[in-house]
């Protein structure tokens, strides 16, 4: 019974969102135009469960490059309207479109001359009629068996808010680097802010061997630097290959007298490299794509200046 109930809820809420996609019309573009032209903040407001949805939409907008905040409508009529100024855009969330606390704010919105976008379940409601743009987020039924508790309706409103935020992000050309500026902490921050240069080994930490030395001379270098590899260079110090632990294992199967062979006979030519300015997350992606554990960084002259290892990325939390 519990599983059937859960499936019913998920089906109803999924249908609510699917219906929204079919219902999109030019009013969505008009709302997007207003948000893009906003030179102030996007101020979200909503009461009760709709208020929680409005807070989440505000957070999503702020995190995707659009300054946004939440105004509690009940507090708004008692002084918090002071946080609203000309140039702002208000986005009001109300399933009924008749929420008393929001309706009381409408004259103030008009006096300030701010644009008003509403996410409403009733396109004929007072809020919808007073809005510059009303986006219909109405649902056929709530997931609540009594059709009372806000469930599908709040899901639909949240999804529409996400649609606005992502479409606005794309219009403004927000890039990963811009996104990183407002996400400096946690795993997301590490993925978006850490670069290869921040984590790479450099200088004497980079194991290097000449292509003409024997493997007897190269192996102590590989073992001593403890990175499981060594960059192979020519007489001018330019990168010509790489020797990894995997290369050693494969070579041992071919040559019992491996130690006497020159490095250039064992090395992997044209090793995978990455720019030091690339995100550390990109280095992880390249390693996963090619099933390798290290990447070399070369300077403009083609000389190895660094190496980043899978363990460096794991320790930094770039996963």
Q: Which residues lie closer than 8 Å to 237 by C-beta, 6 or more apart?
A: 301, 303
pLDDT band at 116 (very low <50, low <70, confident <90, very high): very high
Which tens digit of pLDDT belongs to each residue from 300-310? 999 999 999 99
Q: Is the pLDDT of residue 241 over 90?
A: yes
CATH class held by domain 2-174: alpha beta
**Confidence at residue 281, expressed as pLDDT on a 0 to 100 scale:** 86
Q: Report CA-CA distances (Å) from 41 to 66, 104, 167, 311.
A: 7, 21, 17, 43
Strand 304-309 vs strand 294-298: parallel, antiparallel, or unpaired?
antiparallel
**Confidence at residue 133, expressed as pLDDT on a 0 to 100 scale:** 97
Name the pTM for this structure.
Answer: 0.64
Task: Name the DSSP letter for residue 78.
Answer: T
Which tens digit of pLDDT belongs to each residue from 244-268? 988 888 888 888 888 889 999 989 9
Most confident of 129-133, 199-203, 300-304: 129-133
Residue with tokens 């000309």: 86
**Confidence at residue 252, expressed as pLDDT on a 0 to 100 scale:** 86
Q: Is the pLDDT of residue 174 over 90?
A: no
CATH number of 196-315: 3.10.580.10
pLDDT band at 180 (very low <50, low <70, confident <90, very high): low
Q: Report CA-CA distances (Å) from 287 to 125, 282, 308, 319.
A: 56, 9, 10, 12
Which tens digit of pLDDT belongs to each residue from 12-59? 999 999 999 999 999 999 999 999 999 999 999 999 999 999 999 999
Which tens digit of pLDDT belongs to each residue from 73-103? 999 878 788 889 899 999 999 999 999 999 9
**Confidence at residue 168, expressed as pLDDT on a 0 to 100 scale:** 92
**How does the average pLDDT of the chain come out, rounded?**
90
Average pLDDT over residues 263-280: 91
Q: Domains of the chain: which residue ranges?
A: 2-174, 196-315
**Confidence at residue 184, expressed as pLDDT on a 0 to 100 scale:** 55
């Amino acid at each position: 019974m519990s599983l059937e109930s859960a499936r019913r809820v998920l089906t109803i809420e999924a249908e609510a969102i699917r219906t929204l996609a079919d219902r999109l019309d030019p009013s969505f573009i008009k709302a997007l135009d207003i948000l893009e032209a906003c030179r102030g903040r996007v101020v979200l407001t909503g009461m009760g469960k709709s208020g929680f949805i409005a807070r989440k939409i505000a957070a999503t907008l702020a995190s995707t490059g659009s300054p946004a905040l939440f105004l509690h409508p009940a507090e708004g009529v008692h002084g918090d309207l002071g946080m609203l100024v000309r140039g702002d855009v208000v986005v009001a969330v109300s399933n009924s479109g008749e929420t008393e606390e929001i309706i009381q704010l409408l004259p103030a919105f008009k006096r300030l001359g701010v644009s008003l976008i509403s996410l409403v379940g009733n396109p004929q409601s007072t809020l919808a009629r007073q809005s510059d743009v009303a986006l219909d987020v109405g649902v056929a039924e709530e997931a609540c068996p009594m059709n009372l508790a806000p469930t599908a309706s709040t899901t639909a409103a949240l999804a529409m808010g996400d649609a606005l935020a992502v479409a606005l992000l794309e219009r403004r050309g927000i890039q990963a680097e811009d996104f990183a500026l407002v996400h400096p902490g946690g795993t997301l921050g590490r993925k978006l802010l850490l670069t290869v240069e921040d984590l790479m080994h450099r200088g004497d930490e980079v194991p290097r061997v000449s292509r003409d030395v024997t493997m007897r001379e190269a192996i102590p270098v590989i073992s001593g630097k403890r990175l499981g590899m060594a960059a192979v260079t020519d007489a001018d110090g330019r990168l010509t290959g790489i020797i990894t632990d995997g290369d050693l294992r494969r070579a041992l199967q071919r040559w019992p007298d491996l130690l006497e062979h020159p490095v250039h006979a064992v090395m992997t030519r044209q090793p995978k490299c990455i720019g030091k300015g690339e995100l550390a997350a990109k280095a992880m992606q390249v390693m996963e794509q090619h099933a390798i554990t290290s990447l070399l960084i070369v300077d403009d002259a083609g000389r190895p200046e660094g190496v980043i290892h899978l363990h460096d990325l794991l320790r930094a939390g770039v996963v």
